[in-house]
């Protein structure tokens, strides 16, 4: 049975642990949080999981490492130094970071050639995408191995040609989120209506085809060129940008629309997961096979 070390027992780390565990991996979860064993017992029951606050021991003998710790460079530098010292040659050290560049994480690390970004969308156990982002020192073997592992988990690993701030998924997400914030601030639409609008249009469209393919179809038989020369040429309006000083009012509106606290979180997460599972298979995505 292959062994994976999951670093961090937050939302992302626990989801990674379920994904690897369901696919038949022995899972080691390392986190200094005092309630680690309670988290494992509640969220990872029935899986082969070892919980420890000792990262060095958790890393020894691992076949793959998926880090999902805090998004703070100084912490990642410490963790990856420990991981480098306690894993063997060829063991991929993948970070779930959504913004930190692999070259920065790997700076001065003797295992820089084994460090790569494996950035999932939340929750990793359901969302197909994993962005695989190499740094300048990441070896081709590391990238190939990471892609191999993610594919075996049922994921769609997309290799970026080079590291870039925000990678690709979050750069696209930032544009949409900024415009959503701006339109609510401008009084054009309410929070819940904007969410419904996206679900009933772009969300549904992009779940089936991407932006460029959508452009091809939007242009009819003449393709995307016709779309760009026609409808797109008339979209000359200014996009606008959200006002940071007015963010609080939008946050209050989101809280009012959806609630806060553990009960609200659990309810919304369950709804999200139920809907995501309902569309995965019809769209050609499959959850990892269950062992046993």
Name the strand (E) or helix (H) holding 283.
none
206: cis peptide before it, omega within 30°?
Answer: no
The end-to-end CA distance of the chain, in Å, is 12
Quote the CA–CA distance of 255 and 258 in Å, as a whole number. 5
Active site residue 291: no
DSSP bridge partners of 94: 66, 116
Residue 198, classified by CB atoms within 10 Å of its CB into exposed (0-12), middle (13-18) or buried (19+), is middle
- Provide the Cα torsion 288, 202, 160, 156; round to 10°: 10
Would you say 147 and 42 are in contact if contact means Cβ atoms under 8 Å apart?
A: no
Of the residues 131, 148, 163, 263, only one is catalytic, namely 131
Rounded to 5 degrees, what angle do the CA atoms 1, 16, 284 make? 95
Catalytic residues: 131
């Amino acid at each position: 049975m292959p062994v994976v070390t999951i670093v961090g027992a937050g939302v992302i780390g626990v989801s990674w642990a379920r994904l690897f565990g369901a696919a038949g991996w022995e899972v080691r979860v390392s986190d200094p949080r005092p309630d680690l064993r309670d988290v494992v017992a509640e969220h990872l029951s029935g899986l082969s999981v070892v919980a420890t606050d000792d990262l060095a021991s958790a890393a020894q003998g691992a076949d793959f490492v998926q880090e999902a710790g805090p998004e703070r460079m100084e912490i990642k530098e410490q963790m990856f130094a420990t991981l480098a010292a306690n894993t063997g040659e060829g063991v991929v050290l993948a970070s779930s970071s959504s913004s930190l560049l692999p070259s920065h994480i790997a700076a001065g690390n003797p295992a820089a050639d084994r460090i790569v970004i494996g950035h999932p969308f939340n929750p990793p156990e359901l969302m197909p995408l994993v962005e695989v982002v190499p740094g300048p020192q990441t070896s081709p073997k590391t990238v190939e191995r990471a892609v191999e592992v993610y594919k075996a988990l049922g994921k769609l690993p997309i290799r970026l040609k080079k590291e870039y701030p925000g990678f690709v998924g979050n750069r696209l997400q930032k544009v949409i989120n900024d415009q959503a914030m701006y339109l609510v601030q401008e009084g054009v639409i309410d929070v819940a209506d904007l969410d419904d609008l996206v679900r009933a249009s772009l969300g549904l469209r992009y779940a089936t085809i991407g932006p460029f393919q959508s452009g091809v179809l939007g242009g009819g038989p003449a393709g995307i060129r016709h779309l760009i020369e026609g409808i797109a040429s008339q979209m000359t309006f200014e996009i606008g940008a959200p006002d940071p000083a007015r963010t609080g009012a939008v946050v209050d509106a989101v809280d009012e629309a959806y609630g806060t606290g553990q009960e609200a979180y659990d309810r919304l997460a369950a709804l999200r997961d139920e809907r995501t599972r309902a569309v995965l298979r019809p769209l050609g995505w499959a959850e990892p096979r269950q062992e046993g």
